[in-house]
Chain A
Amino acid sequence: MDSIRKRARELLEKNTVKVVIGYGVGSDNTVRAIFVRRPEGVEELIFDETCVQNLAVYLLKNEIKQIGKLCIIANISALRTILQLASEHQIHEEELLCLSVTPNGELLEFTGFKDIENYISSCNRDLPDKESEMIKKLEKMSVDERWQFWMNHLSRCIKCYACRSACPMCYCTRCQVEYNQPQWITVEATLMGNFEWQITRTMHLAGRCVNCGECARACPEDIPINLLNYKTVLTVKEKYNISAGTNANIDSVMSSFESDDKENFIR
């Protein structure tokens, strides 16, 4: 924690970066994102195992981008997000400096995407155990049981789109749900609209999701929507052997193809 504060102070004092995006303490001792712009502000920075939010979501916000060069305190999810965003040509190396801390407390500083790639290749990128087990459990259910499971959950959705706002990969300036000619997805929170929205969200994130789980953490109704994304993460890994957020120069999974993609259902 001290090493992060020290380095952040140096960076801000030397004016190498204009803002440090990091974790601070919010109300009720919760962890929240803070934006440090003055060297004396670094004392508010914290970094420990409770800092799970994927701060990379702020990187593409216009009001953040226009401040100038950014420094981000990144956990593994955020580092993977940065690689994926780089592969989609959304961020550039010179705009960004990443600080991170290894599990044994060593400060890491990444100036280039290549460094991040090397570090990520040695990190655990598996889905969390709890979610993997849940997916296995759901897959074992009958189709009707699965349908019932999702209908029970999705009936609570209030269409607040917190999942979209929290997702660092959902950066379209105009989302499909905002199109009304034709109106693909109902504006109000109806069960079918909620169902269609989740299909749309998941399909648009297929092959891009870095399994940070931010969507489910953001959901005020505790709907396990991250399972849908994790399912596509598994599908993409199994069928195309690609995991998002490992390479800054990779083609988008869903807009590329191999002529011998394997399937067993086309007649």
Chain B
Amino acid sequence: MSDFQPKIVAFVCTWCTYAGADLAGTSRIKYEPNVKIIRFPCTGRIDYMFLIKAFANGADGVIVSGCHPNDCHYVSGNFHARRRWIVFRELVDFLGMDVNRLCFSWVSAAEGAQWAKIVNSFTEEIRQLGPYKAYMELVKKDKNESVF
């Protein structure tokens, strides 16, 4: 299992975490290359279906990250997002999804090192958990059952 390289998708807001990740790059901070960053205008734009679809397309872990509370470029997008995440996380946990594979964080544009730290620790956690087999079986079944 030690050579397992998890696929991690990060949904980030362009104003804080994306800029933070950019800072990590320009500061030449090395971090795990497993993460694939997808840039959004705001965390408020990140629909829960995106997270589900990431898992359906083979992600082993998903990061959602945006501006700290009160720092949203659009004033309240992250507050709305937080409301949604709280309910969504409880719901998928109740449905039996592994919520340890979901990582929510606040990373500002100045926190390049913090971004690297979160990616590194989360990648390590997912590496320990291994591939998301339960969901992959669901996807495989879907391909067999689908009539289209």
Contacts and interface: CB of A to CB of B under 8 A. Distances in A.
- A and B physically associate: yes
Interface of A: 135, 138-139, 143-151, 184, 186-188, 190-193, 195-196, 198-200, 202-203, 206-207, 227-228, 231-232, 235-236, 239-240, 253-259, 261, 263, 265-267
Interface residues of B, number: 42
B128 to A, nearest CB: 15
A146 B52 CA distance: 17
Contacts, number: 122
Nearest to A155: B141
A144 B96 contact: yes
A203 B88 contact: yes
A257 B76 contact: yes
B33 interface: no
Nearest to A240: B83
Contacts of A227: 94
Contact of A188 (B82, B104, B138, B148): B148
Contacts of A148: 96
A143 B135 CA distance: 13
Contacts of A186: 142, 146, 148
Contact of B91 (A138, A145, A235, A266): A235
A40 B139 CA distance: 57
A146 B134 CA distance: 12
12 contacts: A150-B95, A203-B48, A203-B87, A203-B88, A227-B94, A228-B91, A235-B87, A240-B83, A254-B84, A257-B83, A261-B79, A261-B82
Given A149-B96, A266-B106, 7 more contacts: A188-B147, A196-B49, A196-B56, A199-B91, A257-B82, A266-B104, A267-B104
B142 to A, nearest CB: 4
Residue of B93, B99, B138 with most partner-chain A CB within 10 A: B138
Interface string B56-79: 100000000000011000001001
B138 A195 contact: yes
